[in-house]
Amino acid sequence: MAKRDFDAAAGVHRTVQAIRLEGDRRDAVVEEIAEEVPVALVYNGVPHVVVMATPADLEDFALGFSLSEGIIAGAAELGGLEIVPEQSGYSVYLSVPKQRVADIEARRRNMTARTGCGLCGAQTIEQAMRDVPKIRSAVRSIDRAAIVAAMKRLPQMQALNAATGAVHAAGWANAQGELQFVREDVGRHNALDKLIGALVSGAVDAPTGFIVVTSRASYEMVQKTAMAGIGLLAAVSAPTALAVRLARDAGLTLAGFTRGERCVVYADGAGRLTSTQDWRA
């Protein structure tokens, strides 16, 4: 896959003047805030979608989005990728098989999406609620301690959030809970897409590990995790009812409120968590 060298990380946050009010105090301060810019994905010259995102790891994002949204079946279908700075954002030009562009045209979604919009303008219920594959994860069991360890490590690897306090993160850990990849973005779906792209680009055997996220577990997060073939998703906050149903249908293990030693397991029909072997989904 041909890539153009590009360093988008240089502009992911900036300083601004602000006033901090606390009690009777009024202090002039300098604050670090996260950048948010429009990123257009263009396939074979055909504009597809514009997503508001943090301008870092855009190659990972473009690849991960293309995979998790079912635009391409695998990284081998991506013939080239080029990132072009625009006046107010970035355009990412991707080369894919002609049939893929025809599929895009068939479900035309050329519109601007809100930050982290998981549906990104799907025009029909069928497009939004597409089938996801049954999980065939290589992981047979994961101890809850591994999830605790990965989630504990996650804040330490969130450099952008440490500076700004405004972004989500998605991380991948191996079955022992060793957190090895983290991606950040103002949108939780974008962070997960960036992570998926990074795993594929790094030739990581993603199904041998699991994903931890700093957000709630919406159904789109479950959908993207399942599309990546990863069998366990642990979120800091709650899932939605639809996310739970989708996780159970896909055979994905879903944990929410993963904080400290505590988590709530909403789906684990495959019995991946060693502490829920008696689970009845």
d(CA 170, CA 14): 22
d(CA 144, CA 158): 22
d(CA 118, CA 280): 29
Q: Within 10 A of 76 (CB to CB), how many other CB atoms are there? A: 9
Cβ proximity of 72 and 204 under 8 Å: no
Residue type at position 223: Q
CA proximity to 113, closest of 184, 36, 49: 49
- Cα distances (angstroms) measured from residue 207 to each of 14, 34, 173: 36, 31, 10
Q: Is 117 among the residues known to form the active site?
A: yes
Residue whose token pair is 């998605």: 170
Element (H, E) at 226: helix 219-227
Residue whose token pair is 């505590």: 262
Catalytic residue chosen out of the listed positions 117, 212, 244, 254: 117
d(CA 247, CA 173): 19
d(CA 16, CA 268): 45
**37 Cβ neighbours under 8 A, 6+ residues apart:** 52, 53, 54, 55, 88, 89, 90
Question: What are the catalytic residues?
Answer: 117
